[in-house]
Amino acid sequence: MKKSIYLQLSGMMFLEFFVWGAWYVTVGNYMSRIGMSDVIYWAYTVGPIGAVISPFFLGMVADRFFSTEKVLAALHLIGGVAMFVAPLAAESGAAGWFIFFLLLHMVCYMPTIGLVNALAFHHMTEQEKYFPIIRVFGTIGWIVAGVFVSAVLGADETGLPLRIAGIAGVVMGVYSYTLPHTPPSPKEHVTVRQVLGLDALAQLKSPSFLIFIVSSFLICIPLSTYYAYAPVFVNFNSIMNPAFKMTFGQMSEVLFILLLPFFFRMMRIKWILFIGMFAWVLRYVLFALAAPAGIFWMIMGGIILHGICYDFFFVAGQIYVDKISTREIRGQAQGFLVLMTYGVGMFIGAQASGWLHNSIVTSTGPDAASQWQTFWSIPAALAAIIMIVFGLFFKNTTTSVSDKASQTA
């Protein structure tokens, strides 16, 4: 791969995730400050809605009729403007319009995640070698955004991070026009069934795949509590620069994704996934134990566990799905996994976590400490039940389901 293309793609990944990282962690604390704490969960519901819409857009429109870089540019320009305008609605007290602009942004943004991956793959000859290196620039972009808006600007509770995300989105839109030309795919007939990955449902005949999909879906429900309310919890405990502290989770993600190949050589996929789920339980337990006295090291430990939680379950899970799927439905199987996790699972989780928070954390003073402990105990218990069921019933399958070959854990 040419060095110029490598640099272009790395810059693309950096900007792509800088946009998301600039506002996603701070928006809850911002909404709390301006009196919208009761609807924080809606800010984290718009992403799953975008994730559900995204495969339709990618599979039935973007991939077939337009060059990838032009679609990427248009979506980021529209989404960037929507994000820049969103704080104006919030500061005028129009919560409904604020959520609408966040929704418009995420409906535009979520398809771009698939588009940047597709564009990068199109211009690589050795995907296994170059893609992880290029993709890590996305994580770096998220980290830099968090450090900039929090540690540098100290803007965790302001609308400035949203405006920065909007400006970055417009910059990304303009930058997209400079990316290598990536023509649309051949205009083959595409069905809704293919877009939703429903052909992958045949794999549910495998008990292990069924357990994996159900566990992945269910584990995303408590995951939403982390994304939506961990920054608010950190801020409640008077920990300075909460968005900056949250970036330690992404820093650990970089470390553990580099360690993942080592663990694949050492143990079977079942136990890698199990470790990931155990880390989720441990994270929520640490938050619950830390809540009464605001114990700093426990809170930071829960954040740093994000690397294991994400890499050992989501990344390892994607590898598992790739291994057991036939070549013909591999893409659909991955799409079905994303739909069930980042789409349906996170949607239900965001709504459920909002209801839990508004029902349990009703105080803003010292009494809230015990309420936060109760709040974090619930996702800890749910994650523990899911982990136990997964451990009991999941069996290793290392070859294609269609070959009817499996290994027992």
Q: What is the pLDDT of residues 102-141, one digit of tens each?
A: 999 999 998 888 788 878 878 877 665 677 788 889 889 9
pLDDT, position 400: 39
**How many CB atoms within 10 Å of residue 221?**
22
Of 225, 85, 247, nearest to 150 by C-alpha is 247
Separation between Cα atoms, residue 10 and residue 243, nearest integer Å: 24
DSSP 404: T
Tokens of 8: 């272009």
State yes or no: pLDDT of 293 exceeds 60. yes
**How many CB atoms within 10 Å of residue 268?**
14
Separation between Cα atoms, residue 264 and residue 120, nearest integer Å: 25
Tokens of 255: 């470390």
Q: Tell me which residue has tokens 């248009």.
A: 74
- Residues 23-37, mean pLDDT to the nearest whole number: 94
Q: What is the largest CA-CA distance in the chain?
A: 61
pLDDT, position 322: 73
Separation between Cα atoms, residue 22 and residue 168, nearest integer Å: 9
- Residues 320-345, mean pLDDT to the nearest whole number: 76
Nearest-5° angle of CA 111, CA 113, CA 115? 70
Q: Tell me which residue has tokens 């105990």.
A: 377
Q: What percent of the chain has pLDDT over 90?
A: 58
Give Cα 9 to chain centroid, integer Å.
20
Separation between Cα atoms, residue 156 and residue 27, nearest integer Å: 8
Instruction: Identify the band that residue 401 occupies on the pLDDT scale cut at 50, 70 and 90.
Output: very low
Q: What are phi and psi of 237, to 5 degrees?
A: -85, 15
State yes or no: pLDDT of 388 exceeds 90. yes
Of 273, 246, 283, nearest to 380 by C-alpha is 283
Q: What percent of the chain has pLDDT over 70?
A: 86
* Phi/psi-derived region of residue 400, left when phi > 0, alpha when psi is between -120 and 50, beta in every other case: beta
Instruction: Identify the band that residue 406 occupies on the pLDDT scale cut at 50, 70 and 90.
Output: very low
**How many CB atoms within 10 Å of residue 214?**
16
**DSSP string spanning 260-278?**
HHHHHHHS-HHHHHHHHHH
Nearest-5° angle of CA 143, CA 144, CA 145? 90
Q: Which residue has the higher pLDDT, 129 or 402?
A: 129
pLDDT, position 130: 74
Residues 6+ apart with CB under 8 A from 286: 298, 299, 301, 302, 305
> Could you give all domains of the chain from N- to C-terminal order, each with its CATH number?
1-188 (1.20.1250.20), 191-409 (1.20.1250.20)
pLDDT, position 403: 39
Tokens of 131: 């893609």
State yes or no: pLDDT of 149 exceeds 50. yes
What's the burial of 381, exposed, middle or buried (CB within 10 Å: 0-12/13-18/19+)?
middle
Least confident of 46-50, 54-58, 304-308, 320-324: 54-58
Instruction: Identify the band that residue 297 occupies on the pLDDT scale cut at 50, 70 and 90.
Output: very high
pLDDT, position 314: 84
pLDDT, position 44: 94
What's the burial of 186, exposed, middle or buried (CB within 10 Å: 0-12/13-18/19+)?
exposed
Q: What is the pLDDT of residues 161-188, one digit of tens each?
A: 999 999 999 999 999 999 998 887 665 5
pLDDT, position 399: 41
Instruction: Identify the band that residue 328 occupies on the pLDDT scale cut at 50, 70 and 90.
Output: low
Separation between Cα atoms, residue 215 and residue 281, nearest integer Å: 14
Separation between Cα atoms, residue 153 and residue 23, nearest integer Å: 13
Least confident of 39-53, 120-134, 288-302, 392-406: 392-406
Separation between Cα atoms, residue 89 and residue 221, nearest integer Å: 29
pLDDT, position 230: 94
Separation between Cα atoms, residue 76 and residue 347, nearest integer Å: 23
Report the chain's terminal Cα–Cα distance, integer Å: 40
Q: What is the pLDDT of residues 61-94, one digit of tens each?
A: 655 677 889 989 999 999 999 999 999 999 998 9
Q: What is the pLDDT of residues 363-372, one digit of tens each?
A: 888 889 999 9
pLDDT, position 396: 67
State yes or no: pLDDT of 50 exceeds 70. yes
- Residues 281-296, mean pLDDT to the nearest whole number: 96
pLDDT, position 407: 33
- Residues 129-156, mean pLDDT to the nearest whole number: 89
Q: Answer for the pair 53, 175: CB distance below 8 angstroms, yes or no.
A: no
Which whole-number Å values give the CA distances from 254 to 24, 227, 263, 311, in the listed order? 19, 18, 15, 9
Average pLDDT, rounded, for the chain: 86
